[in-house]
A and B are shown apart, each in its own frame.
Chain A
Amino acid sequence: MSRPAPPAIETVDVVKTFDGGIIRALDGVSLRVEAGEFVALTGPSGCGKSTLLHLIAGLDSPTSGAVWVDGQELGRIRDMDAFRRREVGLVFQLHNLLPHLTALQNIEVAMLGNGFSHKEQRQRAQELLEAVGLGAKAKTEPTRLSGGERQRLAIARALANRPRVLLADEPTGNLDSESVDRVLKLISGLRDSLLAVLLVTHDAHVASMADRVVRMRDGRVE
């Protein structure tokens, strides 16, 4: 009998405090995202959604509790840079693209030092641009792209290193409805190539696209 596959993402009783414990952003969060799932994390502003996402991405560490991604406990990983490079793809609300680089270069920069040859790097970046519908804008700088195009470019960058899980923090927060639908369709279409997708949103319409919705309030999962 084979052992069951570990969950794609699991947090166990995670607590995160700031300012020496004065602010308790996460108060014992336990969450499980199974392999193949697309989960939306919703809740009012300040409830701890983004904080939890950052802990899962390895950008911050919990005050107590444990975070697991694809069977690896983050607290035991020595090279967190390599973890972020290989395991997770991150999409931010403000897309955080580098304004002085072209669309193609914004994707390539994420691949630097990750074992891709120059040719492979260029080829993959171009493929990703094609996949998000920006194939014709490879040489365009982000400042000359629309909000929706920038977010699609940010998604392409998040996928550059073939991550296992995609973590998106309000990726549709600043977009018009047409762009929202296009970005959601894009993320939804990625599910087959990823282990899991965890998307933070406070928009019910966006959340409705997910397999499952997890609600948070005051640093806890409801």
Chain B
Amino acid sequence: MSFAELIWRNITSRSVRSLLTAAAVAIGITTVVALGVLTHSLKVTATSVLKTGSADFTVAQEGVSDVLYSAMDEEEVSRIASDPGVDKVVGVLIGVAQLDKDHPFFLRLGLPPGQLADFGVDVVDGRPYSADAPDEIILGYRAARDLGKKVGDDFTVENDSYRVVGIFRTGQVFGDSASMLSLSQLQAEERKPGDVTLAFVRVKEGQDVDAVRKRIEQANPELATVRTESEFGRVDRNLELIKAANTGATILALVIGAVGVSNTMMMSVFERTREFGVLRAVGWSRLRVLFMVLNEGFLLSFIGAAAGCLAGYLVVQALQDVPALRGVFNPTWEAGVFGRALALAFGMALVGALYPAVRAARLAPIAALRHE
């Protein structure tokens, strides 16, 4: 019998308790995996808007809770465009509408039709809307597929009626799940004349992007430029809150899992006191006893982690069908999610099993053998 076989036998001989402990670990890991994927995916979706149209950077109002609440006027967009390092600027107004209970979060993007190509929009069916046709709209291919719309269909958003004249593709979930119409029309419908939400900036070839950003921020102190995902928090506090919630949930999962493992291992150590005495009497060292109990904790945790990763995957699949997340949640699986789950399982085992293991190892053999 190998040491590993012994550990397996020790775990499986108390199968109900082991399963319950693994389940406690699994719940924690499920939470971490699902929240991790959700947070990461929301971040990818949210930050994908920053990369639209191969922009070098995006400009938004600084410090807003949600990037969609950013408000800039077209004068500011013109000021940005006048910077000597700027090649092109596209000002986009973003409006949020509720289509029905299954589509509570539908985006309308307003921008001049002549700038669609600069915004990275590829009209794959029909044609772009006209600047002077207030009832024309184009739909992202995901939105069209989800809503069952095609070119020529009527389409109503809240009280505004449109005719679908084209289907587009941007290559990003955020954009492909939205609609686009003329900037002036959306400004009128949103009662935001002259306003845009974001400005997408491309700098001239050979220009220092960071120098251009610095000049724009100095000239417009109320605006912030964002180039990387890590800077997104400057223009969207929500994502920071989600990340904080994710961190909190991870810590909570660690505590719950560690308490579960600790409870089981403590009970096990107490019940097996005589067993440890026997092992010490036949010559097992303290270190070997410590290693055995610790490894039992690790095995329990990793069984729970495997189950938790599977359950997390299933939860994420189920989340895709939640109406509120349609169009904004497209799961992106990264190895880091599972890496964090394994690290968490390791942490749960270490925190939960260390004290029981030390206690088992420190038992005096003679006292352990006398234990009733």
Contacts and interface: CB of A to CB of B under 8 A. Distances in A.
Contact of B280 (A81, A100, A121): A81
B1 interface: yes
A106 to B, nearest CB: 9
A108 B1 contact: yes
Interface stretch (B72-80, B121-129, B283-291, B321-329): B283-291
Contact of B288 (A59, A84, A113, A121): A113
Contacts of A113: 3, 284-285, 288
A112 B5 CA distance: 11
Given A81-B284, A110-B282, A59 B3 contact: no
Nearest to B14: A100
A110 to B, nearest CB: 4
Interface stretch (B29-37, B100-108, B271-279, B293-301): B271-279
A157 interface: yes
Contacts of A90: 281-282
Given A101-B9, A118-B2, A96 B283 contact: no
A122 B2 CA distance: 10
Contacts of B285: 81, 113
B283 A109 contact: no
A84 B283 contact: yes
A4 B6 CA distance: 44
A118 B4 CA distance: 12
Contacts of A104: 1
B249 interface: no
B284 A96 contact: no
Contact of B283 (A86, A98, A122): A86
Interface residues of B, number: 24
A83 B6 CA distance: 23
B346 to A, nearest CB: 24
A105 interface: yes
Contacts of A137: none
Contacts of B282: 84-85, 90, 109-110, 157-158, 160-161
B29 to A, nearest CB: 27
A68 interface: no
B4 to A, nearest CB: 11
A109 B3 CA distance: 8
A114 interface: yes
B187 interface: no
Across the A-B interface, the 4 shortest Cβ-Cβ residue pairs? A85-B283, A100-B13, A110-B282, A108-B1
Given A110-B282, A113-B284, 20 more contacts: A59-B366, A81-B280, A83-B283, A85-B282, A96-B274, A96-B278, A96-B281, A96-B369, A100-B10, A101-B1, A104-B1, A108-B1, A109-B6, A109-B279, A109-B282, A110-B283, A112-B6, A113-B288, A121-B1, A160-B282
